[in-house]
């Protein structure tokens, strides 16, 4: 079905069933992964044995950019990945087979090239297996892979700052252009990114006109307007900092046991029968446990609603100078009920829902908490109580999906599992076995 051009396909889409179009989209995606791997292999081979044409450029990546519509940074990334994969044949094999995306492969390789200093060399193969499991399959997401990396850094934590939290690497370039405008390009650590995204969120929401006309601005234009408003409010209020004032509203979720005093690095922890202070969840002398992603579920790191994982070291540092809100968790890490029965979700309940669901809980959705609604699994109109086991965060799109009457695809159901977390059951038209699915915003 992939024969011909996109123009050919566009001219005959009216003849195709939705099932045919789904198959084309999935097949094309798999083909893109296959071709990306082929391109990396070819560019790396040229880097090893360049001919006269390639030697005219400063590297095979620049040659690729000069002879395609790719930009130089993209060409260099392709060449760099090919070079790195020479050292990691296990990762290379999965990438070559089309089981990993380019970006996920680069993330795994980066971890392997600069592992935590507390990680013994013999643990690397097991860590690779864990990361490959997190990055493989149709349920693989960047958030899921970043979580696995954050937990491995937690297991082998040292005093070194993780790259994503190293504010010494922060850069902001502001350059006036020839036509009188200003171009901005920046690269920030995750905590700074969390503060910026939190500050811009409310200011960048679509705002209908007075007559109800939908906001016609693009997402990029709304963000630019929000950034302008943020600067204007700062200057209007001369907000240059207040000693002893309230810190920026950055929400970090972490279990109380992980907020306790700093433990000894996992790499130096000894497993002795008379040492009862060791955390059994962090005892990885049996490195085979690292081969399974599920073995990391009980190991908590900090989590920010916008930017995702945050090392326990940085989380503890923030806790020294913040306002703490207590959320009681059960043995599965699910929040307990925090308010009486009523229709509207209280502020305390919403805080607890964010701690549990991390955003829209629908499988595959990465919508952040600020853009979600609290949904009653059993409707309030049918005597559904406003308690944690009957509530779930959903983005507006998936909230609408849950309230839609069963149509040609049937209707999704939500069941609260024994772990007190929501599980989604697809209709038979989507999955004949109706296998329950959980949120992919794992952390």
Tokens standing for residue 74: 């993209």
**The dihedral of CA 429, 433, 439, 443: what is its sign?**
negative
Reported residue count of the chain is: 443
How far is CA 271 from its chain centroid? 33
Tokens standing for residue 92: 């290379």
Tell me how far apart the alpha carbons of residues 235 and 152 are, in angstroms, rounded to a whole number.
42
Q: What is the pLDDT of residues 263-290, one digit of tens each?
A: 443 334 444 444 444 443 444 555 666 6
The position carrying tokens 């308010």 is 339
Q: Are 203 and 226 in contact, with CB atoms under 8 Å apart?
A: yes
List phi, psi (to 5°) of 226.
Answer: -65, -40
Tell me how far apart the alpha carbons of residues 161 and 168 are, in angstroms, rounded to a whole number.
10
Does 16 have pLDDT greater than 60?
yes
Does 96 have pLDDT greater than 90?
yes
Q: What is the pLDDT of residues 117-175, one digit of tens each?
A: 888 889 999 999 999 999 988 888 888 898 888 888 878 876 667 777 778 888 988 88
What pTM did the predictor assign? 0.58
Listed ranges 33-42, 382-391, 405-414; the one with the highest mean pLDDT:
33-42
In DSSP terms, 172 is beta-bridged to 186
The full 3-state SS of the chain, as one line of letters, equals CCCCCHHHHHHCHHHCCHHHHHHHHHHHHHHHHHHHHHHHHHHHHHHHCCCHHHHCCCCHHHHHHHCCCCCHHHHHHHHHHHHHHCCCHHHHHHHHCCCCCHHHHHHHHHHHHCCCCCCCHHHHHHHHHHHHHHHCCCCCCHHHHHHHHHHHHHHCCCCCCCHHHCHHHCEEEEEECCCCCEEEEEECCHHHHHHHHHHHHHHHCCCCCCCCCCCCCCHHHHHHHHHHHHHHHHHHCCCCCCCCCCCCCCCCECCHHHHCCCCCCHHHCCCCCCCCCCCHHHCCCCHHHHHCHHHHCCCCCEEECCCEEECHHHHHHHHCCCCCCCCCECCCCCECCCCCCCCCCCHHHHHHHHHHHCCCCCCCCCCCHHHEEEEECCCHHHCCCCCHHHEEEEEHHHHHHHHCCCECCECCEEEECCCCCEEEECCCCCCCCCCCEECCCCC
Tokens standing for residue 130: 């864990």
Tell me how far apart the alpha carbons of residues 208 and 318 are, in angstroms, rounded to a whole number.
37
Instruction: Please tell me the predicted confidence (pLDDT) of residue 327.
Output: 58
Tell me how far apart the alpha carbons of residues 289 and 295 are, in angstroms, rounded to a whole number.
6
Instruction: Please tell me the predicted confidence (pLDDT) of residue 276.
Output: 41
* CA distances, 138 to each of 132, 286, 338 (Å): 13, 29, 36
Tokens standing for residue 62: 């620049």
Q: Which has more pLDDT, 290 or 51?
A: 51
Listed ranges 119-128, 394-403, 408-417; the one with the highest mean pLDDT:
119-128
Percent of the chain with pLDDT over 90: 23
Tell me how far apart the alpha carbons of residues 129 and 122 are, in angstroms, rounded to a whole number.
13
Q: Are 288 and 179 in contact, with CB atoms under 8 Å apart?
A: no
Q: Are 91 and 102 in contact, with CB atoms under 8 Å apart?
A: no
Does 240 have pLDDT greater than 50?
no
Q: What is the pLDDT of residues 59-94, one digit of tens each?
A: 999 999 999 999 988 999 999 999 999 999 999 999
* CA distances, 172 to each of 167, 187, 307 (Å): 12, 6, 19
């Amino acid at each position: 079905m992939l024969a011909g051009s996109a123009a050919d396909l566009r001219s005959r889409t009216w003849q195709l069933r939705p099932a045919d179009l789904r198959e084309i989209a999935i097949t094309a995606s798999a083909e893109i992964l296959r071709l990306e791997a082929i391109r990396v292999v070819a560019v790396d081979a040229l880097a090893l044995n360049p001919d006269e044409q390639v030697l005219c450029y400063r590297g095979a990546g620049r040659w690729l950019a000069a002879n395609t519509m790719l930009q130089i940074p993209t060409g260099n990334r392709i060449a760099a990945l090919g070079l790195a994969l020479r050292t990691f044949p296990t990762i290379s094999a999965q990438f070559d087979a089309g089981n990993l995306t380019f970006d996920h492969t680069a993330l795994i390789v980066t971890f392997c090239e600069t592992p935590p200093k507390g990680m013994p060399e013999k643990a690397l193969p097991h860590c690779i297996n864990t990361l490959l499991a997190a990055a493989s399959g149709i349920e693989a997401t960047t958030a899921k892979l970043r979580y696995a990396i954050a937990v491995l850094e937690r297991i082998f934590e040292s005093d070194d700052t993780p790259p994503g939290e190293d504010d010494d690497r922060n850069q902001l370039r502001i350059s006036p252009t020839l036509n009188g405008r200003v171009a901005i390009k920046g690269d920030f650590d995750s905590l700074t990114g969390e503060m910026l995204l939190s500050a811009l969120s409310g200011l960048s929401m679509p705002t209908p006109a007075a007559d109800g006309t939908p906001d016609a601005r693009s997402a990029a234009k709304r963000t630019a307007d929000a950034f302008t408003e943020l600067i204007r409010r700062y200057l209007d209020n001369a907000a240059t900092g207040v000693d002893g004032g309230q810190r920026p509203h950055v929400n970090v979720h972490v279990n109380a046991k992980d907020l306790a005093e700093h433990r000894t690095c996992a790499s130096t922890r000894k497993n002795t029968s008379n040492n009862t202070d060791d955390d059994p969840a962090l005892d990885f002398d049996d490195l085979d446990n690292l081969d399974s992603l599920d073995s990391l579920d009980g190991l908590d790191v900090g989590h920010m609603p916008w930017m995702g994982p945050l090392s326990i070291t940085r989380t503890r540092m923030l806790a020294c100078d913040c306002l703490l809100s207590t959320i009681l968790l059960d043995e599965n890490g699910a929040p307990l009920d925090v308010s009486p029965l009523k229709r509207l979700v209280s502020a305390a309940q919403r805080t607890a829902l964010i701690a549990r669901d991390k955003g829209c809980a629908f499988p595959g959705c990465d919508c952040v908490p600020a853009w979600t609604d609290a949904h009653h699994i059993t409707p309030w109109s049918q005597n559904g109580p406003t308690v944690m086991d009957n509530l779930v965060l959903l983005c507006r799109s998936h909230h609408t999906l849950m309230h839609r009457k069963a149509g040609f695809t049937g209707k999704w159901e939500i069941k609260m599992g024994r772990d007190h977390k929501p599980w989604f059951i697809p209709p038979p038209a989507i999955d004949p076995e109706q296998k329950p699915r959980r949120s992919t915003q794992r952390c």
